[in-house]
Amino acid sequence: MWKIGDVEIDNRVVLAPMAGVCNSAFRLTVKEFGAGLVCAEMVSDKAILFNNPKTMNMLYIDENERPLSLQIFGGEKETLVEAAVYVDQNTTADIIDINMGCPVNKIIRCEAGARWLLDPNKIYEMVSAVTEKVSKPVTCKMRIGWDEDHIYAVENAKAAERAGAAAISLHGRTRVQMYEGHADWDIIKQVKEAVNIPVIGNGDVTSPELAQKMLDETGVDAVMIGREALGNPWMIYRTVHYLETGELMDEPTVKEKVEIALLHLRRLVELKGEKIGVMEMRKHASWYLKGVKGNGKARKALNQANTEQEMIDILQNFQAESTAATATQQA
């Protein structure tokens, strides 16, 4: 067990905040697979202040997800602070996270996200303004730098710490790298050695063994898993188990994949209604079937499904066909 501020976290595996993915349906499912902390997808400070209906729905938290970190982004101090105060006083989030790592242009143009990586002074100014006004612990999600010529990870982390941040999540890639190339764990190690607050390492943790390797090589307090958990919450469960016991558990069966996909579908429909829930589940369903032999026809059908029942039928039929094919091969 470790802590972010006064928030106790049971293990060293954290679900990354992924835009368009980390809604309550996904977070709750991953939480049930053992994540010590789950992070909500980023929300705009101005959208919160404008009471945007879609954004306000994104603030929904199921009590069973906690502890939970809710991430906000913005480029102006006044609106960022106001949004943080709203989250502090009107949601059950345990932690407020500030995004300073998002690499996409529309966020950069708002002077938000990874734009902050170029200016440690702005990081100090913005984070201190937030920490002074809220009671929940404030954390920062950042990248190592803008590009290979502007890597200010240590300076940025120290600025966040001085400003009152309770922890830092560090993705070992630059803004220019986006999600390509290799994550630089050496810089993550340098940051961990430079600050006295918890550091969560992020990037290239694609197996339980690599999670252990990151912990050993960098000294971080926890590992953050993002894309590897898409359609694969077993990655969370297997990693937690491996870190605690050294035992590597088997990959899930097709039956298990379909069962959790159906659970995820039901939760998405309950959360967002059938039309939007099914639309959003299309990508998740494909992720669940990724790597399963003979999945092409089912994945195509899932991407064209319009109702919950259609998706249920496609997934159940795929499971039956896969089971029958396996039995034939073993006979």
User: How many domains are contained in the chain?
Assistant: 2
Q: How far apart are CA 60 and CA 55, in angstroms?
A: 9
Q: Considering 193, 220, 245, which residue would you say is the last residue of a domain?
A: 245
17 is annotated as contributing to ligand binding: yes
Is residue 9 domain-shared with residue 53, that is, in the same domain? yes
| Interior/surface letters 144-157, b for 16+ CB within 10 angstroms, e for the rest | bbbeeeebbbbbbb
Phi then psi dihedrals of residue 138, to 5 deg: -110, 130
Q: Return the CATH number at 53.
A: 3.20.20.70
Is residue 154 domain-shared with residue 217, that is, in the same domain? yes
Query: Which residues carry out catalysis?
Result: 102
Q: Is 168 within the bounds of a domain?
A: yes
19 is annotated as contributing to ligand binding: yes
Is residue 127 domain-shared with residue 194, that is, in the same domain? yes
Is residue 291 domain-shared with residue 199, that is, in the same domain? no
Shortest CA distance to 173 belongs to which of 209, 140, 148? Answer: 148
**pTM for the structure as a whole:** 0.94
Compute the Cα dihedral for 107, 183, 30, 256 and give only its sign: positive
Q: Is 19 within the bounds of a domain?
A: yes
From first to last of the 331 residues of the chain, give the pLDDT tens digit: 899 999 999 999 999 999 999 999 999 999 999 999 999 999 999 999 999 999 999 999 999 999 999 999 999 999 999 999 999 999 999 999 999 999 999 999 999 999 999 999 999 999 999 999 999 999 999 999 999 999 999 999 999 999 999 999 999 999 999 999 999 999 999 999 999 999 999 999 999 999 999 999 999 999 999 999 999 999 999 999 999 999 999 999 999 999 999 999 999 999 999 999 999 999 999 999 998 988 999 999 999 999 999 999 999 999 999 888 776 666 5
Is residue 145 domain-shared with residue 202, that is, in the same domain? yes
235 is annotated as contributing to ligand binding: no
| Cβ pair 34, 59 in contact under 8 A | no
Q: What range defines the domain where residue 273 resides?
A: 254-323
Strands 138-145 and 68-73, by their bridges, are unpaired
